Homo-oligomer: A and B are copies of this chain.
Amino acid sequence: MDVAAIKRSFEGSGLRCTPQRYAVMAFLMDCNRHPTAADIFEAVNRVDPRSSRATTYNNLRDLVEAGLVREVAVEGRAARFDAKGMRHHHFICDRCGNVEDVEWYDVPRPRSRALGKRVLRECELIFRGLCTKCAGRTLSR
């Protein structure tokens, strides 16, 4: 995990590198799951309590706005976050709500006529179904 790289990415976005903000980013970067804000809050404070709930949310908002972190909304559950490292798509489990990465591949864009005057920032592909764990559990009933 590259301390300097995180600092640089913060500076590039006009964000100060505070201990709290750094902790959120560092946790997201070496976390291969897709934690909720509550997970992140807990993880950051596990070693030495030093970030409030509001700050965790503030920093997540800042990082999402800066384009360093992605937020994934899940129906009826808390939002999930991940550091935007390698590009990837998402798989969301119908049953347990877990979010998993799916290998990236290019998605054809819509015809420009279909978008009209809208300004397109990004395309996101979401797969839905049962994750490996839940699929196994369903079969065994």
Interface positions of A (Cβ within 8 A of B): 71-76, 79, 89, 91, 94, 100, 102-103, 105, 107-108, 110-111, 114-132, 135-136
Contacts of A129 in B (CB 8 A): 118-122
Complex formed: what's the CA distance from A12 to B10 in Å? Answer: 54
Cα A126 to Cα B117 in complex, Å, equals: 17
- A89 / chain B contacts, CB cutoff of 8 Å: 110
A76-B79, A124-B125 as given contacts; A117 in contact with B132, CB under 8 Å: yes
Contacting A110 at CB < 8 Å: which of B114, B123, B127? B127
In whole angstroms, what is the CA distance A103 to B122 when docked? 16
Known: A75-B71, A75-B79. A135 touches B114 (CB 8 A): no
